[in-house]
């Protein structure tokens, strides 16, 4: 649903191409790159998933999320300790 809303917003922007062209030229290059990456990722997601495949997905449980956060914290601590040793 959110992907579809974002896709519709992009199409609405593209529909007014004169405004988009002027705004695009005034947009900083780094931000243009971010926009391109976001649009590319959204299009890949739209084309690689059907409503049926998304409907069957389940969000990760709280336990999975907390384990992932703990793993990332442990990795960050190890990296900081490794940096101190060098």
Range of the domain at 31: 2-85
Kindly give the confidence (pLDDT) of every residue in the chain, 86 residues in length, as a single tens digit, with 9 standing for 90 and above. 567 777 777 766 666 665 666 777 788 888 888 888 988 888 888 777 777 777 777 766 667 777 777 788 888 888 888 877 65
pLDDT at 18: 59
The CA distance from 11 to 9, in Å, is 5
Count the alpha carbons within 13 Å of 2 in the hemisphere toward its beta carbon.
Answer: 3
Looking at residue 69, what is its pLDDT?
A: 78
Q: How many domains does the chain have?
A: 1
């Amino acid at each position: 649903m959110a992907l579809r809303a974002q896709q519709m917003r992009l199409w609405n922007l593209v529909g007014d191409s004169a405004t988009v062209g002027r705004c695009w030229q005034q947009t900083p290059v780094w931000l243009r790159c971010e926009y391109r990456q976001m649009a590319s990722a959204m299009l890949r997601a739209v084309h690689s998933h059907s409503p049926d495949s998304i409907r069957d997905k389940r969000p990760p449980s709280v336990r999975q999320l907390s384990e992932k956060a703990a793993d990332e914290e442990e990795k960050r601590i190890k990296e900081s300790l490794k940096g101190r040793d060098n």
